[in-house]
Structures are given as structure tokens and as C-alpha cells.
Amino acid sequence: MKFTKLLTALFLGLSITAKTEVKLPNIIGSNMVLQQNTDVRVWGSASKNAKVEITVSWRSDTISVQTDKHGKFLAQIPTGSYTFEPQTITFTDVSDKKEITLTGILIGEVWLASGQSNMQMPLKGFPGCNIKDGVEEIMFSDNESNRIRFFTVPSKHSYNLEEDVNAVWTIPSANTATEYSAVAWHYAKALSHALGCPVGIVSAAYGGTLVESWMNKELLEKHGVSTKKEDIENVKWEYEKVLLPYNAMFWPIHNFTYKGIIWYQGCSNVGKHKTYYQRLKDMIQLWRNDIALGDIPFYMVEIAPYNYGSGDAPFLREVQFKVANEVKNSGLVTTSDLALPQELYNIHPCNKKPVGQRLAAMALNKTYGKEMFVASGPVYKEIIIEGKEAFVGFENLQMGICSNYMIEGFEVAGEDKVFYPADNVWLRWQTNHVVVSSQKVEKPVAVRYCFKDFAHGTLYGGGMIPAYPFRTDNWDDVK
């Protein structure tokens, strides 16, 4: 009996005096990329009210931080310029000398890639949906092993804010690259080679999600969207549940230090363009506030050409364009020329390389000041009617309009609001007006370009960047 009491007392004593070892969220891990030339945030937990010392291989000083009453800490580490040489970070709980060391760290540029399935779609493709040249990219991915790192957040739901995700930083290889977002992969490759520095991608995309899926409770309620657990659980499709991906996928990684965000989402909001406009703007502001690094770049991709069946897709693209032009430090990449004719019923077009590279060109121009890259294509400016012809003028013409292609994608309508494909399109190169007409329209009133659910356009500006879809009318009832 006395022996049992003694063992109990010893056990209790050990429990009281036991120390908590340093713990870090998975995103603060070996093989990560840290944003260069800034103070990056690192966080974790250790003993309560303890001193944690942080030493890094690229600096001689020691950074000290105190944990709070819950044992949590947050510190900032100056990074300096980029390096391809693997670095280390050691975290030490001074109270018990327990430490953890991270290895294989690179310093460069870090971007968050998010949205729905066209951002999530991996290099290996989806069942029934291939990625063009995806197998080749996977086979030779280790060519980028010294310059690119990926942290892929698994698709997950949570009604409560999560602190961590089940993921690790990986180095490109045939074994790891299969799961990399194809768009983000091509973005990272282009950016890394153009800038000559490492690039880290944090990929947090979930197929089918609404813009409301990536909002917090307060913002959803502001927009009149119910956040009651029973209402969310009663939604038929998992991917259309609001709030839950924000809690489970964005919140655990929001504290990481990013240069900017690339975003490919909107298909699930087709038909809801009237609410999408303000909700997308508010979501961008929410994320920027949460990340707390100012108005960091937010570069979007236009929703893919696809037979949505409603005729509403062009109206959502129009909203995306409007948001990109109104929100500071943002932009929109168009995809109107990328879907193949046979992909009418494929919402996941196979050609992801140009998407990633156009995003990279936009970032290189607007974020990194490399103006030799064209950030965006021709933008509709004016329409002048002369007889049977409509003269359509454009702005944002750094290198004019490319006239070496048959220009496709235009439609013309008269006062009856019936649109017909343009059967005569030519460029008046002296003024960069595209002249559009149709034998079926005696007196043109309106012109549209790629303003359909699924359309293919070949109007290019410099850098082979296509014109944005547009309409000259305000006929919301005409689809």
C-alpha cells in the first residue's frame, strides 16, 4: 500500500515538473522557403512563460522570445537576400534546453495559391481530366529540386478555427510532384527562373468551393449568409459548404509570410454574379487583414470556358474583371483562348502551363517591376458605328494588336438584340481598331467578344496575351 502511494506521489511529481518540448506548426518546417528581405513570422509553443531562443544559420545573433501563459510564442526573423544554399533554424526552450532544428530551408519568394478545382488540379490530373504535358513535368520535376518547394494543404472542413494542417514541405521529384497544383507549379517555375531565386508555394485549394467557403463567420453574417452549424451541415454538396474551408485550410496558414496570392475560383458562383462582386472584394480584404502584410498582390484567373448551361458565366467574368480593376494591387488573367474545342464539357481545361505563366508575367511586371513582361491584354475602350461596320477600339496596348491571326470570338447584334457571329473581322492598324461586321446585321448596335459560357478568342496583344472578354451593350437579359 505504502509502495503504491509512493509510486503515485513520484508520478504526480514527475507530471508537475515535466517540461513541454518546443512544438511548431507543420508549415514552419524543414525544406520550407522563407520570404526574402523581410522579417518573417515563426510561431509555436513551448513551456509556459518560458524563454525561447531562435538561432539561424544565416545570422550570427540570437533571437529571444517569451512564451505566454499558454506556452505560445510568435517571433520575427530577418531573412536578407535570397539563397539557394540550404539553411537551418534551431528553436530552444531555455528552461529545459529542449530544442528542435529545421533543415533544408531556402530563402526566396513565397506565394499562396488558392481557389477551387482549377487551382487544385494536380500535375497528374483528375480522373477523366488530363493535364497537358503533366507526365513530362512530373518526370523531370527534380530539375527544379534546388529552387522550388511546395506545401499542399489537404482539402478539409472544420466548424472551428484550426491551428494546424496535416502537410509538410516537399522537394520536387517524381514521387512528390504528382500532387502539385499544375497552375502553381508553372507559376513557380516561371517566377523562379525569371527572378533567379527560390520560390515556395503554399497551395490551399479545394475543388468546387464557393467564394463564401473562404470567408469567416463575421463576414458571412454581414452578407446575410447563415453560419449556423445545422444550416451548413444541411447543404447537399460538401464543397459548397460555407466557412468550413476558411477555418480548416486558410486560418492555420494565414500567419506565414507571403509575397502575394494567386487565386483561381468562381465556377461554383456562376449564376450568382450579382452577389459575387462585393463578396469577392470583401474576401480579398479579409485575407489581407488576416495575413496582416498590407495590400499584398492578389492575382486572379478568369473562370474557365465551359458549357455551364445557363449563359451566366460571362457575367461572372465581367465581375471578376471589374473587381481586378477596382481593388488595389490586383489583376486578372484571361483564359478565353486556352480551352480546346473538344473541352466544351470539361470544366478542367488541360492546358495549365499558359495560365501559370500568364500569372507569372503579371507578377513579374506589377510586383517585381520587370516591364519587359506584358501583364495583361487589350481592354475594350470604345465602339464607333459606320454603316454596316463596328469599329472597336482598345486600350492597354503596350505592343499593339497582333494581326497575324484570324481574329475569332466576335459577335454583332442590331436593334433586335440578336447576336450573330462576325463573318468579317479585320484590323485597322493605323488606329488599332478592330473592324467587325456580319452579313446578317444591316445596322450594328452592339458587339460582344467571347461573351459566352464557352468561347474561343484569338485577339492578342503583346506577349501573346489575349484580350479580355467584353460587351458594348448593357443587355443583361440577353445570353
What percent of the chain is predicted at pLDDT more than 90? 91
| Nearest-angstrom CA–CA distance, 276 and 103 | 43
Specify the pLDDT at position 403. 74
Q: Are 276 and 238 in contact, with CB atoms under 8 Å apart?
A: no
Roughly how many angstroms between the first and final C-alpha of the chain, as a whole number? Answer: 86
| Nearest-angstrom CA–CA distance, 162 and 387 | 63
Specify the pLDDT at position 19. 54
Q: Write b or e for each residue in 432-460: b if 16 or more Cβ atoms lie within 10 A of its Cβ, otherwise e.
A: bbbbbbbeebeebbbbbbbbbbbbbbbbb
Q: Answer whether residue 312 shows pLDDT above 90.
A: yes
Specify the pLDDT at position 5. 44
| Nearest-angstrom CA–CA distance, 193 and 323 | 30
Average pLDDT over residues 57-69: 96
Task: Count the neighbouring beta carbons within 10 Å of the beta carbon of residue 42.
Answer: 26
Q: Answer whether residue 11 shows pLDDT above 60.
A: no
Specify the pLDDT at position 402. 85
Q: What are φ and ψ of residue 316, in 5° steps? A: -70, -40
Q: Answer whether residue 457 shows pLDDT above 70.
A: yes
| Nearest-angstrom CA–CA distance, 177 and 139 | 9
Q: Answer whether residue 256 shows pLDDT above 60.
A: yes
Specify the pLDDT at position 455. 93
Specify the pLDDT at position 96. 83
Q: Which residue has the higher pLDDT, 450 or 16?
A: 450
| Nearest-angstrom CA–CA distance, 244 and 161 | 9
Query: What pTM was computed for the model?
Result: 0.94
Q: Are 420 and 411 in contact, with CB atoms under 8 Å apart?
A: yes
Q: Are 409 and 458 in contact, with CB atoms under 8 Å apart?
A: yes
Reported confidence tier of residue 478, pLDDT bands at 50, 70, 90: very high
What percent of the chain is predicted at pLDDT more than 70? 96
Q: Answer whether residue 66 shows pLDDT above 80.
A: yes
Q: Are 42 and 75 in contact, with CB atoms under 8 Å apart?
A: yes
pLDDT, tens only, 98-109? 899 999 999 999
Reported confidence tier of residue 473, pLDDT bands at 50, 70, 90: very high
Q: Are 257 and 293 in contact, with CB atoms under 8 Å apart?
A: yes
Q: Answer whether residue 311 shows pLDDT above 60.
A: yes
Average pLDDT over residues 132-139: 98
